[in-house]
Amino acid sequence: MNGVIPVSLGMVKVFILTGNRPVLVDAGTTGKAAQMLAGLERHGVKPEAVSLILITHAHADHYGGLTELRKVIPAPVAVHRLDAGSLRAGARIEPDVLVDDELELRQYGVAGTAIWTPGHSRGSLSVIMESGEAVVGDLVLPRFMAFGPPAIAFWAASREDSIASIRRVLDLKPSIILTSHGGPYRPEALAVLVR
């Protein structure tokens, strides 16, 4: 089975990408490692089976649990090259894989590709799954932070880059767009942001 399983940690979600081996997208906030591990277990994923931890962007609510997770998940950590310095400074973790434009996830057991979608941060990544799901981290956020229609965050590093990245995701024809806060959204809901 190939697809995406969201694991809610309250205000933020992490995602399990399923395939021959699972990939974990993001690491939540500090103190949530037990909750993440319970979410993995609930879906039949053993920590040692995880082939990669992919960080969508280096903000603390997406990497905060990384230090705790690395104690039980021996998988390499991937982040975009432009966010690597922030990850090193904030999580004190040296990334194992630096992404430039794309990272093919088949080598980690998942039918999908991580793509560079700058805007929220300079090094934001999204995942496009062959099964149709797109995991976009904070490329878009709910208008009211926890609910509501999608919006471009007012604190985005670049509104223009956000718009270009939303277009890049939409051009790949996802069937559903999964966000770290709120959502999910239909592609049509994001299309109105880039008209």
What pLDDT digit, counting tens, does each position of 95-117 carry? 999 999 999 999 999 999 999 99
- Residues lower than pLDDT 70 in the chain: 1, 145-146
Residue 117: CA atoms inside 13 Å, Cβ hemisphere, count? 29
Amino acid at 161: D
Is the overall model pTM greater than 0.85, yes or no? Answer: yes
Per the structure, how many domains does the chain have? 1
> What stretches of the chain show up as alpha helix (H) in DSSP?
33-42, 60-63, 66-70, 84-91, 159-171, 187-191
Tokens representing 92 are 């004190």
Q: Write down the pLDDT at residue 153.
A: 80
CB 122 within 8 A of CB 96: no
Residue 62: how many other CB atoms lie within 10 Å: 28
Structural domain boundaries enclosing 175: 3-194
Domain CATH number, residue 141: 3.60.15.10
Q: Write down the pLDDT at residue 1.
A: 63
